[in-house]
């Protein structure tokens, strides 16, 4: 007569079938759930998509042509490989990655990770190299109702905002004038080597100088990097005399901000409570803010950050707003998984107790097979 037992082949086969069935039940219980700050992330991404659309239309209306090979998503925001204001090399794939509007959702997540709340003051340094990253953080700052004070290094690496007639300052101004973003830079520097336009031609430096004047901003033009950093610090101080900044955001490789471009890789990407100790080649504004107690958001390798937040690398075509792991996650139904584990646990305990009873009967000299 068949009796269930962990020593029985048939019992083990039945147990395996039941276990697999419970596993499949739990596995198919997964549902798509919204991640934390879903509504803010979605609103920021929608705002960034709107900003990209406005800038694209603005450029096309003024006769700009889109390079469909290097700008496959037709954003009109991928720059040239070289121009008069190009400060160095850059990766085209990074530019495409950052022009995914859902990157703004990542910006919201990072600003929330820094513990920022409505009304907090944020110091921010941007460059012209990655307009997509700038647009994403401007959108996130707007949605979260933060108060940024921004200074721009106008020069741009390859494929960024390196059109002398349409720099990041021009993009910023278009969006501010149309009410998309309620803030813009308070000042701008040439950027490039030593924050004074090194590696640019005289004509390139003049182009940026004219661009800053065209946008009505203060031009930071110092004789050396140390003086430039001091001027940046002074401007940030003047715009918030009580120094209520809670976080310093660096986007790109501006030398006044980082002190040395190599520091972009030495300082962790994303959020840091403080700058980690290191033998830095030179210290910049980001180090000063860290010493003064500000947390740090370093946006250096945008593709690595996108991967960390489950966003695609250089996607073609542009993903739908609200699409990606930054917004949703698959979660198991806890009721189902708990029930499946409980059922399997009860079956195993029952088999163990039954085997124990049979072993005791045999020890007492009773053959279980003789029992009815």
Is the same domain home to 78 and 123?
yes
In DSSP terms, 189 is beta-bridged to: 153, 220
Is the same domain home to 109 and 202?
yes
Is the same domain home to 43 and 174?
yes
Is the same domain home to 117 and 24?
no
Is the same domain home to 19 and 88?
no
Please indicate, yes or no, if residue 208 is contained in any of the structural domains: yes
Please indicate, yes or no, if residue 72 is contained in any of the structural domains: yes
Q: Give residue 25's domain range.
A: 9-30+332-370
Is the same domain home to 101 and 63?
yes
Is the same domain home to 19 and 93?
no
In the chain, the number of structural domains is 2
User: What was the pLDDT predicted at 353?
Assistant: 79
User: What was the pLDDT predicted at 328?
Assistant: 84
Please indicate, yes or no, if residue 313 is contained in any of the structural domains: no
- Of the three residues 308, 342, 361, the one that is the final residue of a domain is 308
Measured CA to CA, the distance from residue 19 to residue 346 in angstroms comes to 12
Is the same domain home to 18 and 47?
no
Please indicate, yes or no, if residue 222 is contained in any of the structural domains: no
Is the same domain home to 177 and 123?
yes
Is the same domain home to 126 and 25?
no
* CA-wise closest residue to 144 among 275, 251, 249, 240: 249
Please indicate, yes or no, if residue 236 is contained in any of the structural domains: no
Average pLDDT of each block of 10 consecutive residues along the chain (372 residues)? 66 80 76 86 98 97 94 96 94 97 98 96 97 98 98 97 96 98 97 92 96 96 96 95 93 95 93 92 95 96 95 96 85 77 82 72 55 48
Please indicate, yes or no, if residue 232 is contained in any of the structural domains: no
Is residue 299 reached through a cis peptide bond, with omega within 30 degrees of 0 on the bond before it? no
- Ranges of beta strands (E only) in 186-272 are 187-189, 218-220, 245-251, 270-272
């Amino acid at each position: 007569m068949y009796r269930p037992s962990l020593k029985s082949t048939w019992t083990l086969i039945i147990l395996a079938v039941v276990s697999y069935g419970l596993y499949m039940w739990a596995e198919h219980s997964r549902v798509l759930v919204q991640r934390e700050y879903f509504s803010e992330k979605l609103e920021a991404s929608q705002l960034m998509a709107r900003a990209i659309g406005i800038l694209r239309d603005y450029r096309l209306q003024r006769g700009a042509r889109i390079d469909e090979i290097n700008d496959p998503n037709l954003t009109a925001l991928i720059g040239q490989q070289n121009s008069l204001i190009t400060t160095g090399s850059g990766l085209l794939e990074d530019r495409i990655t950052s022009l995914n509007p859902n990157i703004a959702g990542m910006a919201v997540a990072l600003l929330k990770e820094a513990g920022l709340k409505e009304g907090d003051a944020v110091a921010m340094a941007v460059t012209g190299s990655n307009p997509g990253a700038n647009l994403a953080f401007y959108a996130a700052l707007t949605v979260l109702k933060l108060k940024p004070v921004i200074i721009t290094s106008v020069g741009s690496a390859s494929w960024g905002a390196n059109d002398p007639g349409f720099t990041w300052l021009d993009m910023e101004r278009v969006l501010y004038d149309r009410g998309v973003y309620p803030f813009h830079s308070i000042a701008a520097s040439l950027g490039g080597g030593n924050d004074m336009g090194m590696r640019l031609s005289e004509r390139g430096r003049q182009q940026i100088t004219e661009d800053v004047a065209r946008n009505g901003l203060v031009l930071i033009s110092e004789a050396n990097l140390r003086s430039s950093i001091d001027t940046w610090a002074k401007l940030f101080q003047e715009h918030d005399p009580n120094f209520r900044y809670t976080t310093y955001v660096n986007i790109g490789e501006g030398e006044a901000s980082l002190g040395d471009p190599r520091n972009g890789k030495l300082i962790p990407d994303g959020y840091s409570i403080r700058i980690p100790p290191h033998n830095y080649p030179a210290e910049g504004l980001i180090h000063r803010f860290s010493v003064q107690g500000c947390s740090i958001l370093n946006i250096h390798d945008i593709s690595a950050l996108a991967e960390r937040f489950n966003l695609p690398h250089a996607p073609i075509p542009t993903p739908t707003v609200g699409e990606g792991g930054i917004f949703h996650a698959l979660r198991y139904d806890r009721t189902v998984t708990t029930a499946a584990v409980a059922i399997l646990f009860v079956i195993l305990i029952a088999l163990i107790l039954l085997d124990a009873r049979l072993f005791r009967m045999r020890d007492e000299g009773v053959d279980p097979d003789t029992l009815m």
